[in-house]
Structure 1
């Protein structure tokens, strides 16, 4: 819904006349769980290239989701007069896209949650449909059984891929001429990809028996369909070069004695030409080390000039020994945890998928056949600098202890891509930012300063030493031997003339040769932080001749908005409001801007504006029914800890708050949370720590900021919470005997530690273990999933056993089988959500305690409950 944004002056008026306003609100009901279902959440919007249309998903708590497509023109009557539809709603639609000429929109249409569940129970596949709309006429087309679609770069054609048969990977592909409606079909397609320009589609084909496998090309404008190569091998990984007709693909090659698959790389230059030359990098070519294979990951990539193709290498895996002499003993599934492991086994297990995709970077020159290996460490990171003259690889191999315990250091090698020559250019470095758009510089950060390495000359230059700024993040409160940079976003001019760097508040334009720099913003004076918004990622760096856009955040006010820097001019603050603004985007071919705005009492909506953003107008109205219900409000609370830390917290008032009454309060700690002041919380049982639900239940809710001290996170937490709670109690609206605490993960540690050292709480809940149970004087509810991959759930069992031995009768442990660090099953999310409300309802509001709190639930009782529920 759209409510007027209040300025600081209006807040003063609310304080003066609040009684009358709030008295009028009392007649409105608060939310009940039955009301949650209709609540809406705004998804990421898609803007048409001409800026005249927007499509955005709208999801609801009850999963009756829809996609909305609307005209952004002010005069919808003119839109209708042209025969177009200014507003279209499609239930259960996702994945909207516009054609490059902004004449067409397409999306996928799914089914309801109920239909999906029924199909899954019947073991029937769920199939999407395609929706296609001609924006100028309002005419729509529906295509059944569509798995994926993609417009051609020129906007004239649409490729539509169906679903493969059960157990297969190939499916039909249809290329639709959007102007005429004619369609051309191709069978047994496993992959397809449009060329970056024009309209040529490549496809890999896989047939029954493999005899018809191959790679094919289709040019719909001419109707020419060609088979580039065919054979019994499999083809995958289509890769077009940007702005060209050069094409590459992988062809599988099976070799005896190995369980894995290697590949050949096939490359065509100007593939549409009748005399296009095919070049092949065979799996055993010179330059491919013995015992290594050409990997399916990462994706093939062309250099901008078409002279090189990057690919990956992996060590070969020998096939299992199935000979008669092989041992027939059953193999134990023991895990070997070694003290020298750089990554512990649980981490390796969690990163298994990533590890299987790792590869050593290499480069192939099709014209000469030369192969240069860049990567040497599978756990390292190798990257090509723009222009591909040089590459760099960073590796932590020499610093295993630092890697083990989260203080990773790297050595960096510079690699000449033409010769493969390597040179160690950095040692024991932590922050390597990457290369410049021309590939001339490598940017890195050390000791609070930014440096560049000129890769051609080898010169290292401190480019910020003479600037009156501190580029370190001085707010960092995690133990470290080197403060990180204030911002990890460094934005280069496309021609390398400057790089934009950040201190804690401002943006600096710095020359990469160290010859100087200037501050572009003035945020330090009023503590407003500026950060660059990159609106066009099609090319590396930003065009120095056009404006740079920035987001703004008030550190103390929590205001947000946007600013602009035009070449040669000072920064202009265009929007700065008491709201949470985000998702700024610009149309590809028009000066039309779109962004999202929300507040705790104002549901998120989209705003459209011109380049000045001053004429912004709301074009959506989500949760328009919110005004029918009582609502709370949010305000900042300032406090100073006993250690002298000046902090803030976000305080949310109960829905229907009446001045003069006292209320219970729930405190939810973590780290820095006052930034959530203007967040709009959708009420739902799936979010079990839901601020909106708690305020609707009659609680104040406090999200306090906590700043830690090295090796003393617990005492720092106590100091912050005691100061924060005291600041709220001083307002006189919270009953000091009815304050509860709830925390998850790191907040769970805090929520366990504080009650053993402080008496500010009556009840609390947490999700991670700690010690000193014998000092606990507060009723505690603890939750764990027994498959938690972040915190060992046996720590919860230890806490439970200590609590029992210490005679803590008001301690309850909830264990959700098969759940990880966060609950994923909807039934478990809702169950935990309700138990939190019951726990606080009893201890903070005096509601009757349910049996599970007073007596527990036996194994047989719970088993019967589940059995009875399954019969319903």
Structure 2
């Protein structure tokens, strides 16, 4: 049944009121000029904080400070004093364990990049700065490829880029011996994988350094005792395995080869073994077969890992010891027959040999039974070239077990002693095209490689979690949470009978609703934490029962509680003590404010530590201490960093004050707006009134949206120029900005979006804020589609800017997402576009939800923007919309940005689009003079002149 679109009559928006200000009467008053105006130049220079790193001791914070355009700098801040340091050009900080030393990557200055030629740009390399926070001394290194501290923070390894090769004189006319050339061709080429470069090891406490040449790999052990390096001198044919003892900086060549290229290296956690791969240096790097060996550091004995006729090691093999040093994990690839080389035309007869001639063809065959469609297969090709299949070598007994294989290619490797989780998407690769992503999940025995199926056709974003002691696995399926008992291969429904939903309650897609995920496991596998929309449940694995850790307050008060502030280790997830006090983050769905709370495991109840009208983000937790770092923000409060004890965030100390740069501007404020749509469904939105807002005065409004926007009430606006409007600029220039929530109905995405938009706009008109004759709308991607559709159904918007919109669902349905090579069908049948069926089963729904079929109705001027290398939406969708409006005689402008993807990447284009957007809305919403590009366009000849 076709949904009836309950649009408000256009006439109802034309409110007669003495307070309405005519278009063009939005000039700034003297009061508005008391602060600096927000300009594009100011936005470019506005700084944000990135990549905070806290020392393990919890006493020091390092962070990258970056403007939208320009050079970053590093900020190092003591958390226990006012001591701070600035590192010019610094980014991507690393901190030594004790916090005394901080290393930053040093990027090439922007001006140097901008003035460099394309050839010169390729030679520009990053550097590195090392700061001693005790002395304030800074040491700089140039052309650095990689750097890292050892685990204990006593040493720093600085690995340099290869030195530039000597230039070849193109004018050299020396006669070359052809026979010598042929001899060279027989030799294997040396590529960057084989080439080594210098590595400098710095002993931080003494400042003494040593340099090792031709390093191609290096690895610090986690005990902080050793550094192992692969040094490959391909010219001298010297391939050395080098071990450095970090307690005395002594260097020893523990293994040397003349014709064996050393590949990967690793050290066992107990410091007893070096694992390394090596292969024939005469073989080409891409085809070289490697062997795995283990060297006993104490005795010097070398043991080779078993070899297989079915499997081999290659250049992409990685090595990793288990935490207990009993196992070595590494990747292998199947042995495959050599590909047949196509014969090239060389003789007169070859010119007419059909096999030889067709061997030069350019052809890709798309077959209906292909697991992947060709564009996706091609995109996956490079990944597949680098794919290895996980195996494990048990050091005791030298027993090798293959864990992953071509039928179960993925393994989630955590610190486990007996089992790991494996998965396979192979049975479902074909149906990815229309149904989305699924996997089968297996429990894999580390000792035997035996695979036990535990889940079939599970959504790939709903993977099971294995308990630390490997007695249980937990997973979500069809609205419930299940516990799988490994020893008995039994599954138990943990949430059956609980009077609450564990499925996403806001899920409005034509697919099965996902769950809310799981919190940490408890020690000894005694239990785990699971989430519903609001509350946290503590489940007992013995009794298979649980209780609301948060006492049900979440659902009663509309607060979404989640565990936060745990130490992050990607290889070893956090485990909680059964009576531990845990820090919770809470988001109040009603007020949109955040808070920190505390709960004690084993007891039902929540203690409020702090809450308010702000947004909180937990950023880091120190490894060896109770210190956390978090940010606190509002629309009018920059997200500065605070430090606190894990148990007392309410006593936090403010560590940065980048809000100072905001205080030079006249900033607006955000407020929450409530209304109901045409179906009586309650909706929320954010209204940001202009700076120096005058009650009773009406203002032009810019509507920006996507799906849920009200959770941005307390978000500081992004001070960047990109594909979105900069809220702060518009608010400072006399606009109100409105961010409405959109709730969708499957099958009617366009109509349900329009209902939410028009009812929301009606609300802010009734509030006396919006000028009904000056309301603009802007959206990008999914928001761009909704923008394009909205103006076909209502005349309420006086100007529309749509970025990367789908305009014709009938053609977009079988389009290609060029970034991934995936077909777009699944987006309509199960995903964001929310049609819920195929084009051939529900053609009318595709037509009803496509803007181009209503192009003749459009009365709103529209500006369309696309990058012509869009990797998500085919940019031809913009052409279709442009041509439909052009044919219908509508007011339309199309901005085609060359060589740009779905989101603009090149800064000149981001700035240009931002300027044109402000000019466009300025003309149609504020009566400002139209620029020539808007009234006349731009001829290609003019474009070429500018070029």
- The TM-score, its normalising length taken from structure 1, stands at 0.89
The alpha carbon displacement at 1:633 in A equals 1.0
Q: Are 2:65 and 2:91, in contact at CA under 8 Å, matched by a contact in 1?
A: no
1:129-166 per-position Cα deviation (integer Å, ceiling 9, x unaligned): 44333333334434444433222222222222222123
Gaps of 5+ in 1: 1-21, 77-85, 867-872
Query: Which residue number in structure 2 is paired with residue 262 of structure 1?
Result: 289
Flag the 1:134–1:361 CA change in 2: closer, same or farther, 3 A.
closer
Query: Which residue number in structure 2 is paired with residue 82 of structure 1?
Result: none
Query: Which residue number in structure 2 is paired with residue 110 of structure 1?
Result: 107
For residues 694 and 339 of structure 1, the distance between their equivalents in structure 2, rounded to whole angstroms, comes to 51
1:481-524 per-position Cα deviation (integer Å, ceiling 9, x unaligned): x2210x23432124211111000001111123452111111211
1:95 aligns with 2:125: no
For residues 260 and 833 of structure 1, the distance between their equivalents in structure 2, rounded to whole angstroms, comes to 49
Flag the 1:620–1:257 CA change in 2: closer, same or farther, 3 A.
closer
Task: Decide which of 816, 819, 827 is 2:897's aligned counterpart.
Answer: 816
Query: Which residue number in structure 1 is paired with residue 815 of structure 2?
Result: none
The alpha carbon displacement at 1:181 in A equals 1.9
The alpha carbon displacement at 1:253 in A equals 4.8
Greater relative contact order (Cα < 8 A, sep 6+): 2
1:386-409 per-position Cα deviation (integer Å, ceiling 9, x unaligned): 534233433344445643224434
1:746-766 per-position Cα deviation (integer Å, ceiling 9, x unaligned): 111101111111222111111
Flag the 1:218–1:788 CA change in 2: closer, same or farther, 3 A.
same
Query: Which residue number in structure 1 is paired with residue 263 of structure 2?
Result: 236
The alpha carbon displacement at 1:280 in A equals 2.0
Gaps of 5+ in 2: 1-28, 166-191, 345-349, 808-851
1:192 aligns with 2:193: no
Counterparts of residues 552-701 of structure 1 (less than 5 Å): 552-569=586-603, 570-610=605-645, 611-686=647-722, 688-701=724-737
1:203-256 per-position Cα deviation (integer Å, ceiling 9, x unaligned): 111113262113211103234322232223322333333454433232235798
The alpha carbon displacement at 1:201 in A equals 0.3
Partner SS, residue 615 of structure 1 = strand
Query: Which residue number in structure 2 is paired with residue 433 of structure 1?
Result: 464
Task: Decide which of 58, 69, 74 is 1:67's aligned counterpart.
Answer: 74
Query: Which residue number in structure 1 is paired with residue 513 of structure 2?
Result: 483
For residues 330 and 146 of structure 2, the distance between their equivalents in structure 1, rounded to whole angstroms, comes to 26
Counterparts of residues 394-413 of structure 1 (less than 5 Å): 394-399=423-428, 402-413=431-442
Partner SS, residue 432 of structure 1 = coil
1:829-853 per-position Cα deviation (integer Å, ceiling 9, x unaligned): 1111111111111111111112222
Flag the 1:532–1:818 CA change in 2: closer, same or farther, 3 A.
same
Task: Decide which of 38, 47, 52 is 1:40's aligned counterpart.
Answer: 47
Q: Are 1:30 and 1:631, in contact at CA under 8 Å, matched by a contact in 2?
A: no
Q: Are 1:195 and 1:245, in contact at CA under 8 Å, matched by a contact in 2?
A: no
Q: Are 2:408 and 2:423, in contact at CA under 8 Å, matched by a contact in 1?
A: no
For residues 397 and 628 of structure 1, the distance between their equivalents in structure 2, rounded to whole angstroms, comes to 57
Q: Are 1:393 and 1:413, in contact at CA under 8 Å, matched by a contact in 2?
A: yes
Flag the 1:307–1:72 CA change in 2: closer, same or farther, 3 A.
closer
For residues 43 and 628 of structure 2, the distance between their equivalents in structure 1, rounded to whole angstroms, comes to 32
Q: Are 1:684 and 1:693, in contact at CA under 8 Å, matched by a contact in 2?
A: no
1:717 aligns with 2:749: no
Q: Are 1:267 and 1:366, in contact at CA under 8 Å, matched by a contact in 2?
A: no
Partner SS, residue 789 of structure 1 = coil
Counterparts of residues 325-344 of structure 1 (less than 5 Å): 327=356, 329=358, 331-344=360-373
Flag the 1:38–1:702 CA change in 2: closer, same or farther, 3 A.
same
For residues 413 and 640 of structure 2, the distance between their equivalents in structure 1, rounded to whole angstroms, comes to 41
Query: Which residue number in structure 2 is paired with residue 862 of structure 1?
Result: 943
Q: Are 1:389 and 1:416, in contact at CA under 8 Å, matched by a contact in 2?
A: yes
Greater mean deviation of Cα atoms: 701-710 or 673-682: 673-682
For residues 467 and 242 of structure 1, the distance between their equivalents in structure 2, rounded to whole angstroms, comes to 45
Task: Decide which of 154, 157, 167 is 2:155's aligned counterpart.
Answer: 157
Task: Decide which of 810, 813, 825 is 2:906's aligned counterpart.
Answer: 825
Query: Which residue number in structure 1 is paired with residue 322 of structure 2?
Result: 303
1:838 aligns with 2:871: no
The alpha carbon displacement at 1:527 in A equals 0.6
For residues 461 and 585 of structure 1, the distance between their equivalents in structure 2, rounded to whole angstroms, comes to 35
1:375 aligns with 2:395: no
For residues 155 and 194 of structure 1, the distance between their equivalents in structure 2, rounded to whole angstroms, comes to 11
Task: Decide which of 180, 198, 203 is 2:229's aligned counterpart.
Answer: 203
Query: Which residue number in structure 1 is paired with residue 763 of structure 2?
Result: 727
Partner SS, residue 702 of structure 1 = strand
Q: Are 1:636 and 1:650, in contact at CA under 8 Å, matched by a contact in 2?
A: yes
Q: Are 1:258 and 1:318, in contact at CA under 8 Å, matched by a contact in 2?
A: no
For residues 689 and 272 of structure 2, the distance between their equivalents in structure 1, rounded to whole angstroms, comes to 61
1:396-452 per-position Cα deviation (integer Å, ceiling 9, x unaligned): 444456432244343333333322333333333333322111122222211211112
Task: Decide which of 251, 270, 273 is 2:278's aligned counterpart.
Answer: 251
For residues 117 and 394 of structure 2, the distance between their equivalents in structure 1, rounded to whole angstroms, comes to 49
For residues 752 and 342 of structure 1, the distance between their equivalents in structure 2, rounded to whole angstroms, comes to 35
1:3-30 per-position Cα deviation (integer Å, ceiling 9, x unaligned): xxxxxxxxxxxxxxxxxxx996563343
Q: Are 2:223 and 2:271, in contact at CA under 8 Å, matched by a contact in 1?
A: yes
The alpha carbon displacement at 1:662 in A equals 1.2
Task: Decide which of 313, 318, 322 is 1:294's aligned counterpart.
Answer: 313
Q: Are 2:723 and 2:913, in contact at CA under 8 Å, matched by a contact in 1?
A: no
For residues 794 and 334 of structure 1, the distance between their equivalents in structure 2, rounded to whole angstroms, comes to 24
Q: What RMSD over aligned residues (CA atoms) do the two structures have, in Å?
A: 2.7
Greater mean deviation of Cα atoms: 497-506 or 318-327: 318-327
Task: Decide which of 782, 799, 804 is 2:881's aligned counterpart.
Answer: 799
1:281 aligns with 2:278: no
Q: Are 1:651 and 1:701, in contact at CA under 8 Å, matched by a contact in 2?
A: yes
Partner SS, residue 748 of structure 1 = helix
The alpha carbon displacement at 1:68 in A equals 1.2
The alpha carbon displacement at 1:119 in A equals 4.4
Query: Which residue number in structure 2 is paired with residue 541 of structure 1?
Result: 574
Q: Are 2:51 and 2:92, in contact at CA under 8 Å, matched by a contact in 1?
A: no
For residues 714 and 939 of structure 2, the distance between their equivalents in structure 1, rounded to whole angstroms, comes to 43
Partner SS, residue 42 of structure 2 = helix
Flag the 1:812–1:53 CA change in 2: closer, same or farther, 3 A.
same
Query: Which residue number in structure 2 is paired with residue 769 of structure 1?
Result: 806
